[in-house]
A and B are shown apart, each in its own frame.
Chain A
Amino acid sequence: MSGGDAIPEFSKAKSGDGQDVSLTNLSAFAGGPGVKSGAEVAAILVVAVVIIGGIELALRIFHVPQYIMPPPSAIVYALFDEFPLIAPHLGYTLVELFSGFAIGAVVGLLMAAVITQFPFAEKIVAPYILILVTTPMLALVPLLILRFGFGYTPRIIAVALAAGPMVMINAATGFRRVDSAKIALARSYGASTLQIFWKIRAPMALPMILVGLMIGAIFGLLTAVGAEMVGGGFGLGNRLTSYSSMIQMPQFFAVVLILSTLGILIYVLFFLIGKKWASWEA
């Protein structure tokens, strides 16, 4: 402790505190959809009606064949008509997403929390984490299928591999945001290392952790669907390849609609969590 003390600093944001590594920042929360007024919501709905109605009209006027672009009404009809058949596949995809994401997020969070305690180890590991973040895990799916077969296993592994590093790199950025004055405050009351972690470091890291979880979940969805398209007989990705090979375009777009809804739900979920627990940051 004696020689290791740092010169007391009170600067608000130290440069090089990891902000440079983050893939995104909290503008995702601060500048997100937010709470819109009634008039704004009405305007958004009007625009949606105009655009969707316009597409419907144009497709019908110009007699565009369904295999090129089905009209919105046909997509909505297919969504309801085909839903009983699609629903189990939605379930499979969700199972893969949830289990893969849970594994990836837990491992990523733990690694971030541990590795940031050891700056030297962190420097050594950083390039490898970067490789994990930047390599599309989809590329490994054929290999995983070869090893684990066409079941859930290769997909869950791929989702975990895609989500984990995203969670880790962002959470690490959060844990690295050390505020020496706040840690000194806790220490002045005799706080243990564990107390400093739970009461200072973790809350300070929370906004970045949430950003990491959100990006991880969206990457996980992407990877799950992609892996399903590569091989295996179930999941929403499998439906996409199957419907397009049978030129069932309304059903194909119905699945796309479900996928984008999933993505939006993930975003909204983390947006709401961030608003509740990390709004102090904004």
Chain B
Amino acid sequence: MNTGSARTPKLGVQAASKVYTTASGDLLALDRCSLDVHANEIVSIVGPSGCGKTTLLWSMSGLHRLTSGAILLDGKEVTGPRPEIGIVFQEANLLPWRNLDANINFPFEIKGEKPDRAWIAHLLHRVGLDGFGGKFPRELSGGMQQRAAIVRALALKPSVLLMDEPFGALDSFTREEMNRLVEEIWLDTKTTIVFITHSIEEAIFLSDRVVVLTARPGRVAKVYDVPFPRPRSLEIMATKEVFDLTNRIKMDIVGERRPKAQEQLEHKSAEIVRIRP
């Protein structure tokens, strides 16, 4: 499957910049972001909200054109949506007027291809949605909707899966369940995954590497390796190493906002000092 040499990353982001033109002027969302995602790797992108995580992902998928820089898939520039790239959107993004089967068939309809029934049935079984094909999205829980969205994204057998805060709207138990599901699917398929999240725990649980973006404009602030073995059990997730890593990443993200926070803190402590004597 991986045709490129060991040196060619599966997905390369090269000095990606993106400017949005808005009514109130230009908005620099991404500033010379560079990042290599290797084949069969799970990379998470975390950062303060509004830092351009979704912009980066949409650019990787070819949905948005970069203002400058390039996205390379297997060494070739991505200039538009590509069948090798699957996307799982925020809040499932199922079409409410279609039942589950019709939602999963949607990509095949667009491409004018015959759906791969056996593969879809396997995926539906994998995520525990057997027998729900006739249900409409509104009849399913948020977790089930997102499972269906994952099946839809995997139905075309993409070699890269981009996931844009897929579980952000779910409660924490469902979210953990979904994280285990993503890990299982990855262990099965070894699909390269880029995962955007605002949950550091989720990022560490899933990823081989965690990329921290700066506040707007988004730049790559730091990249952490997550060396823990898979499948990652609850025990591993409760170790001191994980705890320390979580805190370091948290500090990085909070540090992004430090100037203001620090100022307030210093102001306060000064007041306290004055009162004490």
Query: How far is B85's CA from A203's CA once the two chains are assembled, in angstroms?
Result: 26
Q: Is B205 an interface residue (CB 8 A)?
A: no
Q: Which residues of B contact A10 (CB under 8 A)?
A: 89-91
Nearest CB of chain B from residue A10's CB, rounded to whole Å: 5
Within 8 A of A (CB), among B16-74: 18-22, 27, 29, 54-55, 58, 61-67
A189 interface contact, C-beta 8 A: yes
Say how far A126's CB is from chain B's closest CB, in angstroms: 20
Q: How many residues of chain A get a CB closer than 8 Å to chain B's CBs?
A: 28
**How many Å lie between the Cα of A181 and that of B92 in the bound state?**
10
Chain A residues, Cβ within 8 Å of B93: 181-182, 185
Q: Which of B87, B90, B106, B137 contacts A199 (CB 8 A)?
A: B106
Tell me whether B95 is interfacial, beta carbon within 8 Å. Answer: yes
A186 with B65, Cβ < 8 A, contacts A181-B89, A203-B95 known:
no
Q: Chain B nearest CB: distance from A9 CB in Å?
A: 9
Q: Is the CB–CB distance between B63 and A187 below 8 Å?
A: yes
- B111: chain A residues at CB < 8 Å are 189-190
Q: Is B138 an interface residue when CB atoms closer than 8 A count as contact?
A: yes
CB distance from A214 to the nearest CB of B (A): 19
For the complex formed, measure the closest distance between the CB of A209 and the CB atoms of chain B, giving whole angstroms: 13
| Complex Cα–Cα for A1 and B62 (A) | 11
Residue of B nearest to A184 (CB): B63
Query: Which residues, 144 to 158 on B, are CB-close (under 8 Å) to A?
Result: 156
Query: Is residue A131 contacting chain B, with contact meaning CB distance below 8 A?
Result: no
A74 in contact (CB, < 8 A): no
B58 and A3 within 8 A (CB): no
| A190 contacts B96, C-beta separation under 8 Å | no
**A6→B67 CA distance, assembly (Å):** 13
- Is there contact, CB below 8 Å, between B81 and A7? no
Q: B174 CB to closest chain A CB, in angstroms?
A: 18
Q: Are B97 and A206 in contact (CB under 8 A)?
A: yes
- Tell which of B58, B61, B67, B95 touches A182, judged by Cβ atoms closer than 8 Å: B95
Given the known A-B contacts A3-B21, A5-B65, A10-B91, are A280 and B27 also in contact in the complex, defined by CB atoms under 8 Å? no
Cβ contact of A185, chosen from B64, B89, B137, cutoff 8 A: B89
Q: State whether B27 touches A195 (Cβ < 8 A).
A: no
Q: How far is the CA of A185 from the CA of B97 in the complex (A)?
A: 15
Contact in complex: B109, A199 (CB < 8 Å): yes
Any chain B CB within 8 A of the CB of A15?
no
- Taking a contact as CB atoms under 8 Å apart, the answer to whether A188 and B81 are in contact is yes
Q: Within 8 Å CB of B110, what residues of A? A: 186, 189-191, 195, 199
Is B83 among interface residues, defined by CB-CB distance under 8 A?
yes
- In the complex, whether B228 has a CB less than 8 A from a CB of chain A is no
Tell yes or no: A33 within 8 A of B by CB.
no
Answer whether residue B142 sits at the interface, using C-beta atoms and an 8 A cutoff.
no
Contacts of B9 in A (CB 8 A): none
Which B residues are CB-close (under 8 A) to A182? 93, 95
Q: Which residues 240-259 of A sit at the B interface, judged by CB distance below 8 A?
A: none
Does B136 touch A at the CB level, under 8 Å? yes
Q: In this assembly, does A27 line the interface, its C-beta being within 8 Å of a C-beta of chain B?
A: no
Least Cβ–Cβ distance between A190 and chain B, in angstroms: 5
A5 to B20, Cβ gap below 8 A?
yes
A31 close to B (CB within 8 Å): no
> CB within 8 Å of B: which of A2-19?
2-8, 10
A12 to chain B, nearest CB (A): 9
Complex Cα–Cα for A185 and B106 (A): 10
Closest A residue to B109 using CB positions: A199
Question: Chain A residues near B81 (CB, 8 Å)?
Answer: 187-190
Residues on the B chain within 8 Å of A7, using CB: 20, 22, 27, 29, 55
Chain A residue at smallest Cβ distance from B95: A182
Q: Note all chain A residues with C-beta closer than 8 A to B156.
A: 189
B107 on the interface (CB 8 Å rule)? Answer: yes
A270 to B179, CA, bound (A): 45
Residues from chain A with a CB closer than 8 A to the CB of B91 are 10, 181
How close is A16's CB to chain B, nearest CB, in angstroms? 13
Given known contacts A5-B20, A199-B109, A188 and B87 CB-to-CB distance under 8 angstroms: yes
B95 vs chain A, min Cβ distance (A): 7
Residue of B nearest to A6 (CB): B20
Question: Contacts of A281 on B, CB cut-off 8 Å?
Answer: 96
Closest CB in chain A relative to B234 CB, distance in Å = 31
* Closest CB in chain A relative to B3 CB, distance in Å: 21
Subset of 25 A-B contacts with CB under 8 Å: A1-B65, A3-B19, A3-B21, A3-B67, A5-B18, A5-B64, A7-B22, A7-B55, A8-B54, A8-B58, A10-B89, A10-B91, A181-B93, A182-B93, A185-B87, A185-B89, A185-B106, A188-B81, A189-B107, A190-B80, A190-B83, A195-B110, A199-B109, A206-B97, A280-B138
- Known contacts A181-B90, A187-B63, A199-B106, then 10 further A-B pairs from the complex at CB < 8 Å, ordered by chain A residue: A3-B67, A5-B64, A7-B20, A181-B89, A181-B93, A188-B61, A190-B83, A190-B111, A191-B110, A195-B110
Query: Which A residues are closer than 8 A to B by beta carbons?
Result: 1-8, 10, 181-182, 184-191, 195, 199-200, 203-204, 206, 278, 280-281
